[in-house]
């Protein structure tokens, strides 16, 4: 899709002007809160509520994804204080009559003495995903006072394929880290993207938002959903006659809040952030408004031996008026709608059963919970909402445990289970295969029961040090054969001076070999680049090479616990000489680190040989890895490690990896193991990707 023309921009502004304005949560003639609102704040944010009602300075820390904080303005000057967290804080200052207003943390601390206000500090960037939140809260977040941590993530996680259970676990760890620093938490699901195709982008992050809402309700967290389309935007009047026209009308209305650049990228305008700030404030006071329609008796039934799903649900009109609905299924969770009945007319209080067919998308669909979360776009008059259905997958669900297994010796066991999700007893058999080894068994389950699977395999003893292969599980029931596949990466523990061939992301005639060296004062990581036209100069000033290293340098016991790292990035030209070490995050070497790392203390270089071979080196000082026991010649003195090398080749930029994975690179489970010995053990890391 091309960038907007001036005429289209004017049309978008005119359309936005026609949209209904958001209703303030209460009249600004009074700064008093109702008893219900006071009780809600007292229950969910007791310490913050006490400070607000006593008009004491409140310190808000914002942890948000880079995309969640994007903002576009015509003058190009919009910054953090024009984004929705700061505008939410402004609503708080108005409600509680803070004369000091909203200010950015650290800009002028003396103002706190003159007049109470609300300070906002935003920590957002390329390497600050939700998985990094505990590391951030334990390091740079401690540099200033924190009363309330506002956490908004999900867009990048949805793109990376993070499952709803994994996303919720990451949020739980973030909440635990915030509580450890005596702060309260406001968990926020992200706004809806507007990229092409809209039927794919609108629903992409909704399963994560729905799982977060479910967990927040269970745990008693303060929660807001910026993906609640009905709360953010009303629909302009229209005489659209069918579902296609109604969807086009919604598309135009929603995209009027975004600026489309020449590359087809949609950036949120200031107007959207203004609405998001108001919605955040209103949901803090009142929670999420009840929808005018609801769904019940929701289930998803396997079709075509797992190649399709049939969503069955009943839509209920909870109002006293007739409703004409357009119900459009969206692409999400690896499923693409193939057949639906979009037009629904419901009398007051009436119900109607719906059946929607889905086909499996291009990527493999696997489950880490017994339900599939399928978003539906529901349009009724001036109201549109994306409502996510939590549908048990029937009659059985194959649920995987994706935990990374470290230091496996001879055998490993991947966790999984078969769950009976229907209303009748089920029985059948299963077969699993990995690298030619086969397992099998039978199951007989009552409704709601589950049977763990004994998926234990021998580690491969020959071949490559890092191997990626599929584990295939076939489940057979009368009339139904299901096949579920998970990529498994087996990475042998690597020793010092042991050469490992890196895996290219695309086909390449060249070769990159990695090895590590260590002594009492430094760790040296080396990549030898072999092959013609593997490292070419660039003509636009961009780097000819980039080396990214994720190094978990926590102590042995801590390294096996959850946590994250941030990549150390080094770049350089095709000319031999020193490389450039980019700024290094305080938690780069694992959760618990919190130092200031000077890039000048690292050493990076490119060395070229007479035979055309190139060698790229990165030297990390031992003093910066201060939490590691550093026991040389000991196989139990280990680092978590992944290395990615990107080169400007004759085919353009290509990347080679020590551990080729689809999952988030910063997670502690996305790494192989480096042992500080030249005689490594035969153990291995097993990663369920």
DSSP H or E stretch at residue 493: none
Judge if 98 and 192 occupy the same domain: yes
- Nearest partner of 324 among 236, 256, 239, judged by Cα: 239
Residue 557 in this model has a pLDDT that exceeds 60 = yes
Average pLDDT estimate for 367-385: 92
Q: pLDDT tens digits for 617-657? A: 999 999 999 999 999 999 999 999 999 999 999 999 999 99
Average pLDDT estimate for 585-604: 95
Judge if 584 and 617 occupy the same domain: yes
Judge if 467 and 525 occupy the same domain: no
DSSP H or E stretch at residue 199: helix 198-204
Residues 115, 99 contacting (CB under 8 angstroms)? yes
List the CATH number of the domain containing 330. Answer: 2.60.40.10
Query: Looking at 54-68, 74-88, 235-249, 523-537, which range is the least confident one?
Result: 235-249
Q: What are the angstrom distances between the C-alpha of 621 and each of 425, 597, 672?
A: 61, 10, 21
399 in a domain, yes or no? no
Binned at pLDDT 50, 70 and 90, residue 462 comes out as confident
List the CATH number of the domain containing 119. Answer: 3.40.50.1110
64 in a domain, yes or no? yes
Binned at pLDDT 50, 70 and 90, residue 18 comes out as low
Q: Torsions phi, psi of 563, nearest 5?
A: 170, -170
Residue 1 in this model has a pLDDT that exceeds 70 = no
74 in a domain, yes or no? yes
Give buried/exposed letters for 638-660 (b at 16+ CB in 10 A, else e): bbbbbbbbbbbbeeebbbbbbbb
**Does residue 89 or residue 402 have the better pLDDT?**
89
- Picking from 487, 509, 544, the residue at the C-terminal end of a domain is 487
605 in a domain, yes or no? yes
Judge if 581 and 483 occupy the same domain: no
Total residue length of the chain:
689
pLDDT of residue 111: 58
Q: How many CB atoms lie within 10 A of CB 235?
A: 22
Judge if 38 and 148 occupy the same domain: yes
- For the record, the structure tokens of 468 come out as 């990626």
Q: What are the angstrom distances between the C-alpha of 415 and each of 32, 317, 438, 488, 579?
A: 53, 42, 16, 12, 43
Judge if 531 and 466 occupy the same domain: no
Judge if 153 and 89 occupy the same domain: yes
- Picking from 364, 394, 424, the residue at the C-terminal end of a domain is 394
How many domains does one find in the chain?
Answer: 4
406 in a domain, yes or no? no
DSSP bridge pairs for 299:
312
Q: Which residue has the tokens 């259970």?
A: 165
Torsion-angle region of 159 (φ positive above 0: left; ψ -120 to 50: alpha; else: beta):
alpha
Residue 379 in this model has a pLDDT that exceeds 80 = yes
Q: Within its chain, how far is the Cα of 506 from the centroid? A: 25
pLDDT of residue 25: 44
Residue 274 in this model has a pLDDT that exceeds 70 = yes
User: Could you tell me the residue range of the domain that residue 351 belongs to?
Assistant: 293-394
Binned at pLDDT 50, 70 and 90, residue 2 comes out as very low
Q: Torsions phi, psi of 490, nearest 5?
A: -105, 115
Judge if 229 and 270 occupy the same domain: yes
Residue 528 in this model has a pLDDT that exceeds 80 = yes
407 in a domain, yes or no? no
Instruction: Measure the CA–CA gap between 99 and 102, rounded to whole angstroms.
Output: 9
DSSP bridge pairs for 688:
488
Judge if 143 and 30 occupy the same domain: yes
**Does residue 18 or residue 365 have the better pLDDT?**
365
Average pLDDT estimate for 450-475: 90
Judge if 29 and 59 occupy the same domain: yes
- Picking from 487, 516, 543, the residue at the C-terminal end of a domain is 487
Cβ neighbours for 305, distance < 8 A, ≥ 6 positions apart: 480, 481, 482, 483
Binned at pLDDT 50, 70 and 90, residue 409 comes out as very high
- Three-state helix/strand/coil letters over 553-614: CCCHHHHCCCCECCCEEEEECCCCEECEECCCCCCCCCECECCCCCHHHCEEEEEECCCCCE
Residue 375 in this model has a pLDDT that exceeds 90 = yes
pLDDT of residue 19: 52
671 in a domain, yes or no? yes
- For the record, the structure tokens of 567 come out as 């990549």
Query: Looking at 97-111, 313-327, 468-482, which range is the least confident one?
Result: 97-111
Judge if 281 and 297 occupy the same domain: no
pTM of the model: 0.91
Instruction: Measure the CA–CA gap between 472 and 366, rounded to whole angstroms.
Output: 11
DSSP code, position 336: E
Judge if 482 and 356 occupy the same domain: no
Average pLDDT estimate for 11-30: 49
Range of 14-23, 461-470, 678-687 with top mean pLDDT: 678-687
Supply the DSSP string of 529-567, one letter for each residue.
Answer: EESTTSS---SSS--SEEEEEEEE-S-HHHHTSS-B---
- For the record, the structure tokens of 408 come out as 């496996």
Residue 28 in this model has a pLDDT that exceeds 60 = no
Instruction: Measure the CA–CA gap between 334 and 162, rounded to whole angstroms.
Output: 12
Residue 17 in this model has a pLDDT that exceeds 70 = no
How high does pLDDT run on average in the chain?
Answer: 90
348 in a domain, yes or no? yes
List the CATH number of the domain containing 614. Answer: 2.60.40.1190
pLDDT of residue 27: 40
Residues 641, 674 contacting (CB under 8 angstroms)? yes
pLDDT of residue 109: 59
Instruction: Measure the CA–CA gap between 123 and 417, rounded to whole angstroms.
Output: 39
Instruction: Measure the CA–CA gap between 33 and 49, rounded to whole angstroms.
Output: 11
Instruction: Measure the CA–CA gap between 208 and 377, rounded to whole angstroms.
Output: 16
């Amino acid at each position: 899709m091309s960038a907007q023309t001036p005429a289209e921009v004017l049309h978008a502004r005119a359309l936005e002007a026609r949209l209904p304005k958001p209703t303030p949560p209460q009249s600004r003639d009074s700064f008093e809160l109702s008893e219900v609102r006071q009780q809600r704040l007292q229950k969910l944010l007791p310490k913050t509520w006490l400070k607000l009602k006593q008009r004491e300075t409140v310190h808000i820390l914002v942890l948000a994804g880079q995309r969640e904080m994007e903002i576009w303005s015509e003058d190009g000057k919009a910054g953090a204080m024009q984004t929705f967290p700061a505008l939410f804080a402004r609503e708080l200052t108005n409600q509680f009559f803070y004369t000091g207003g909203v200010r950015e943390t650290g800009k002028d601390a003396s103002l706190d003495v003159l007049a109470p206000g609300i300070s906002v500090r935003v920590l957002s960037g390329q390497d600050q995903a939700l998985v990094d939140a505990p590391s951030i809260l334990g390091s740079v977040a401690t540099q200033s006072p924190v009363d309330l941590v506002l956490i908004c993530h999900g867009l990048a996680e949805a793109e990376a394929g993070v499952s709803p259970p994994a996303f919720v676990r990451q949020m739980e760890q973030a909440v635990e880290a915030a509580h450890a620093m005596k702060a309260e938490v406001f968990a926020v699901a992200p706004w809806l993207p507007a990229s092409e195709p809209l039927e794919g982008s609108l629903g992409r992050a909704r399963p994560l938002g729905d799982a977060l809402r479910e967990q927040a309700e269970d745990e008693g967290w303060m929660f807001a959903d910026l993906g609640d389309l009905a709360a953010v935007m009303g629909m302009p009047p229209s005489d659209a006659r069918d579902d296609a026209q109604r969807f086009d009308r919604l598309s135009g209305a929603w995209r009027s809040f975004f600026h489309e650049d020449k590359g087809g990228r949609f950036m949120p305008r200031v107007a959207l952030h203004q609405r998001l700030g108001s919605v955040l404030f209103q949901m803090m006071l009142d929670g999420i408004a009840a929808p005018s329609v609801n769904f019940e008796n929701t289930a998803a039934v396997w079709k075509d031996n797992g190649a399709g799903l049939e969503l069955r649900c009943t839509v209920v009109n909870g109002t006293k008026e007739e409703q004409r609905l357009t119900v459009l299924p969206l692409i999400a969770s690896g499923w693409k709608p193939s057949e639906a009945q979009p037009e629904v007319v419901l009398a007051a209080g009436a119900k109607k059963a719906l059946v929607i067919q889905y086909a499996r998308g291009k990527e493999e669909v696997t489950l880490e919970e017994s339900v599939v979360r399928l978003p539906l776009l529901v349009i009724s008059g001036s109201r549109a909402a994306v409502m996510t259905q939590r549908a048990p997958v029937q009659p059985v669900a194959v649920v995987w445990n994706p935990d990374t297994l470290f230091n496996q010796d001879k055998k490993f066991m991947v966790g999984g289970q078969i769950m009976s999700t229907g209303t009748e007893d089920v029985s059948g058999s299963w077969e699993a295969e990995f690298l030619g080894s086969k397992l099998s068994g039978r199951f007989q389950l009552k409704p709601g029961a589950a049977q763990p699977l004994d998926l234990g395999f021998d580690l491969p003893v020959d071949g490559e040090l890092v191997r990626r292969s599929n584990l295939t599980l076939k489940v057979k029931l009368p009339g139904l054969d299901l096949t579920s596949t998970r990529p498994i990466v087996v990475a042998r523990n690597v020793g010092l001076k042991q050469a490992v061939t890196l895996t290219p992301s695309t086909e390449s005639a060249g070769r990159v070999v990695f090895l590590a060296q260590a002594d009492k004062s430094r760790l040296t990581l080396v990549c030898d680049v072999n092959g013609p036209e593997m490292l070419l100069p660039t003509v636009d000033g961009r780097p000819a090479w980039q080396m990214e290293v994720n190094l978990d340098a926590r102590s042995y016991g801590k390294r096996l616990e959850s946590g994250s790292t941030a990549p150390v990035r080094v770049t350089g030209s095709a000319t031999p000489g020193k490389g450039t070490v980019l700024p290094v995050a305080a938690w780069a070497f694992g959760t618990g680190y919190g130092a200031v790392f000077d890039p000048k203390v690292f050493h990076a270089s490119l060395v070229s040989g007479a035979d055309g071979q190139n060698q790229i080196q990165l030297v990390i000082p031992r003093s910066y890895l201060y939490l590691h026991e550093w026991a040389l010649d000991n196989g139990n003195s280990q680092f978590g490690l992944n290395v990615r090398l990107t080169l400007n080749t004759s085919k353009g930029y290509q990347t080679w990896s020590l551990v080729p994975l689809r999952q988030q690179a910063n997670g502690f489970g996305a790494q192989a193991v480096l042992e500080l010995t030249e005689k490594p053990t035969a153990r291995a890391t097993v990663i369920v990707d």
